[in-house]
Amino acid sequence: MPNWTDNTLIIAVPADRADAFCKAIEGPNDWPYPIDALSSFERPSVGPSAHQKLKVTGEIDNLMARFRAHHDNIWPDWMKPSFVDLALFMDDPEYRKKTVSKTVPFSIPALTPWKDKAEFDRFFPEEDPSDPLWTGTPDNSRIIALRKARIGVKWPPGSIRLEREDKGDLCRITIHYETPWAPIESLADIMADVLATHNARAALLWIEEQGYCGYEYMLPGGDSSADAFEADRFVEEIEEDDDEVFHQFDREDFETTVADIISDEALFEARNEDLPDDRTAP
């Protein structure tokens, strides 16, 4: 099983909808949840000291209102913050936006946010639902399970890079990102609404580290098609002077093959050539 999968998502959108489209796919890098759900080595070291408890408890209504207003674009009304959320917010209102809820140009959580409190409770159960603060713990929080249930892999996209090409009446948006293990298995469903809203279409090209690769073609009406290639389909052997053999993935052959299959000039004609380097391995 590969550690990382290299993904290239190409989108063709009418030029007059490009700005709105980019705004629609922008958002937090992960689904919001209380910071207390993180394990001790992942979350910041904050109390709870008696002084901090008194400060948070004494200002809880005001802190709650300010916290929700400050994070109203990502934090559902029904989700309780935890003690650590409010303690950190009291010291630095921008803490969450700088760490666990960083804004990225391609946000899966923005495209498929929390459904409701019942879904949240399945992954982040509480010990005392009557408490005004979230009372779950890292031991019963299922952060990885949430992501796997939503997208089939254990982390949302990382190392995201978005590029735009203006082509007259059309704008081509290319997004490069990495996912662990495999591509996002539900991407066509996740992208369906935003593609339909902006009359856009998209193609995902993905490559795992061992050379297994494939594509997914998504149309604004919700139709999609996909296929995959065996690991050795685009891998060539290169023998060095010292008789050491390297295996190199032929990205150009792969992309040309997919472009010929899809036959969508809006997505593939005169594409940006600034692509990540090929992966090589002995």
Q: Could you state, in order of their start, the residue ranges of all structural domains in the chain? A: 4-27+157-281, 30-151
Looking at residue 42, its pLDDT comes to: 76
From first to last of the 282 residues of the chain, give the pLDDT tens digit.
458 899 999 999 999 999 999 999 999 999 999 999 998 777 766 555 555 666 777 788 889 999 999 999 899 999 999 988 998 898 889 999 888 889 999 999 999 999 999 999 999 999 999 999 999 999 999 999 999 999 999 999 999 999 999 988 999 999 999 999 899 989 999 999 999 999 999 999 999 988 899 999 999 988 999 999 998 899 887 776 666 777 788 999 999 999 999 999 999 874 444 444 443 332
Looking at residue 46, its pLDDT comes to: 58
**Helix/strand/coil (H/E/C) assignment for every residue in the chain:** CCCEEEEEEEEEEEHHHHHHHHHHCCEECCCCCCHHHCCCCCCCCCCCCHHHHHHHHHCHHHHHHHHHHHCCCCCCCCCCCCHHHHHHHHHCCCHHHHCCCCEECCCHHHHCCCCCHHHHHHHCCCCCCCCCCCCCCCCCCCHHHHHHHHHCCCCCCEEEEEEEEEECCEEEEEEEEEEECCCCCCHHHHHHHHHHHCCCEEEEEEEECCCCEEEEEECCCCCEEEEEECCCCCEEEEECCCCCEEEEECHHHHHHHHHHHHCCHHHHCCCCCCCCCCCEEC
In the chain, the amino acid numbered 37 is: A
Q: What angle do CA 4, 220, 116 make, to 5 degrees?
A: 70
Q: Do 176 and 277 form a contact (C-beta atoms < 8 A)? A: no
The whole-model pTM stands at: 0.86
Q: Which CATH superfamily is domain 4-27+157-281 in?
A: Api92-like domains (3.30.70.1270)
